[in-house]
Amino acid sequence: MCGRYASSRKPEDLVEEFEVVDSRIRQPLEADYNVAPTKEVYAVMERKPSRDSEEEPQRQLRSLRWGLVPSWAKDPSIGNRMINARMETVAEKPAFRRAFAARRCLLPADGYFEWYPTSQKTKAGKPRKQPFFIRPTDGRVLAMAGLYEIWRDPTRDEEDPERFRWTCTVLTTQAEDAVGHIHDRMPLMVERERWAAWLDPSSATTDDLLPLLVPAAPGRLEAFPVAPLVSNVRNNGPELVEPIPLEEALA
């Protein structure tokens, strides 16, 4: 799964990187080195300028809450359990299939965290888990495949600007060999040449979409141990993604 990641790039940098033409960011998000579910995150998508517009969809940058709430949900707290969608079943699951067909996005990240169980034991007798940070070897942005939904809050008035909640989820797949020894799942990356096809809001068949999602090529990602500070969501800062010696991590 993908349960934590880092996102420190400024919106203007993401606008340039993803060739965004319509930024909907009114208040930039703070650099976040410990992004956790329910936090606001940046997302790149393609939408028409307005519902009634006859213009072609434009590439937008928005902030969404991590944890997808399906449009039919009665209770938005369901989003707390919808932080990941498995590639193998996303086209069939009721919570994700509509978004997979027409509401796909990219979630920019510096990298993501996974925890590896070591031979060391906690006071409770369980294996101590060592966090690792996994990022592109070239230092560029990690474009994670995502889905988004727009949930209408029935308790709010028609004129209330907060009546719509925009949420998202990260697609995951079987981890590639280079990082599979840390965790068996990983977020799906979308390579630059496939961004346009993935973001195209036109309804598409599963046969059209699934080939766009492939595991990272060998050597594309690197993983290194980091301090256990990241395990506490209240901790934040660039020190969370600084590598520590492997012998220290396993000591």
Domains of the chain in start order, with CATH, are 5-114+139-219 (3.90.1680.10)
What 8-state DSSP symbol labels residue 222?
Answer: E
In this predicted model, what pLDDT tens digit does every residue of 177-195 receive, in sequence order? 555 556 678 899 999 999 9
In this predicted model, what pLDDT tens digit does every residue of 80-117 receive, in sequence order? 999 999 999 999 999 999 999 999 999 999 999 999 88
In this predicted model, what pLDDT tens digit does every residue of 207-237 receive, in sequence order? 888 888 877 667 788 999 999 999 999 999 9
Active-site pick, 46, 114, 149, 168: 114
Q: What percent of the chain has pLDDT over 70?
A: 92
Mean pLDDT of the chain: 89
Active-site pick, 2, 46, 105, 149: 2
Would residue 222 show up in a list of annotated catalytic residues for this protein?
no
How high is the pLDDT of residue 1?
64
Pairing of strands 104-109, 142-152: antiparallel
From residue 208, give the alpha-carbon distance in Å to each of 27, 89, 191, 194, 205. Answer: 36, 15, 16, 12, 5
Distance CA 121, CA 100 (A): 41
Q: In this structure, what is the dihedral angle of CA atoms 196, 72, 7, 223, given to the nearest 10 degrees?
A: -80
Would residue 19 show up in a list of annotated catalytic residues for this protein?
no
- Inter-residue contact 72 to 41 (CB < 8 Å): no
